[in-house]
Copies of this chain bind each other. A is one copy, B any other.
Amino acid sequence: MEPAIILVRPQLGMNIGMVARAMANFGLSDLRLVAPRDGWPNPDAGPPAAGADHVLASARVFATVGEALADCHLSYATAFRPRDVQKPVRTPREAAAEMRGSPAKAGILFGPERSGLATDDIVTVQTLVTIPADPGFASLNLAQAVLVLAYEWFLASAVPPASPERVPAPQADLEGLIGQLNDALAETGYFFPPQRTRATQRTLAGILAAARFTADEIRTLRGVIRALSRPRPPGRD
């Protein structure tokens, strides 16, 4: 199944058009935009798409990264170096082989032109993808980064994985689990001091994302959290 190309807060319509062309060059068509700066559709995207109009026409806009990834079981974020969040790092070639080897839908995040992805964008992503490049000049144009991933996906052979596939739940299930855990912990006073709340939530979300739980496992875990959160009979505390 082809991966979704997800542009997070893209700035220039021209770059979105070039992304569409690069996708079409390698047989991709699932383009998703998270909060594009200049809205959508954007007439600047047309000419550089050079005929990849079907990609632009079917592009979908989402308000958040979580919504754009909701149906994706495998999630990747392109980042030049691992941030403070600890995650496995793959090359484009390795990520392409993994996507080709899985029957599950994948989504790949690409950050805005100037700043790249924010830490909060990648907290719940399973895997980082780092494009090998000259360390002295490692920042690729947005469409060039998409091209590398699309090219490697096109070339990767569809070899099934050696071991039976363990399909991670769609991202929406993971987000639901994280939300439930945060709410349950908030009621217990776990997040203290308050100014550390977000950092602690990030750490927990990162741990849960890295586990690549299946949908069944997430259902079980949500039941566990529900059980733990039940009001206790007095005197048993």
Q: Check B133 against A25 for contact (C-beta < 8 Å).
A: yes
Within residues 85 to 129 of chain A, which ones have a CB less than 8 A from any CB in chain B? 93
**Nearest chain B CB to A96 CB, angstrom units:** 13
Q: Return the contact of A25 from the options B18, B51, B137 (Cβ within 8 A).
A: B137
Q: Check A141 against B50 for contact (C-beta < 8 Å).
A: yes
Q: Return the contact of A148 from the options B27, B51, B132, B147 (Cβ within 8 A).
A: B147
Within residues 13 to 41 of chain A, which ones have a CB less than 8 A from any CB in chain B? 18, 21-22, 24-27
Nearest neighbor of A27 in chain B, beta-carbon distance: B134
Give 1 or 0 for each of A136-173: 1 = CB within 8 Å of chain B CB: 01111101100110010011000000000000000000
By a CB distance below 8 angstroms, the chain B residues around A151 are 131, 148, 151
Within residues 52 to 101 of chain A, which ones have a CB less than 8 A from any CB in chain B? 52, 93
Q: Interface residues, chain A, CB within 8 Å of chain B?
A: 18, 21-22, 24-27, 48, 50-52, 93, 131-134, 137-141, 143-144, 147-148, 151, 154-155
Q: Contacts A50-B139, A147-B144 hold; do A25 and B134 have CB atoms under 8 A apart?
A: yes
Q: Contacts A147-B147, A148-B151, A151-B148 hold; do A21 and B141 have CB atoms under 8 A apart?
A: yes
By a CB distance below 8 angstroms, the chain B residues around A134 are 24-27, 154
Q: In the assembly, what is the distance between CA of A138 and CA of B141, in Å?
A: 21
* Most B CB within 10 A of own CB, among A50, A93, A151: A151
**Nearest chain B CB to A109 CB, angstrom units:** 20
By a CB distance below 8 angstroms, the chain B residues around A93 are 155
Nearest neighbor of A25 in chain B, beta-carbon distance: B133
Q: In the assembly, what is the distance between CA of A154 and CA of B144, in Å?
A: 15
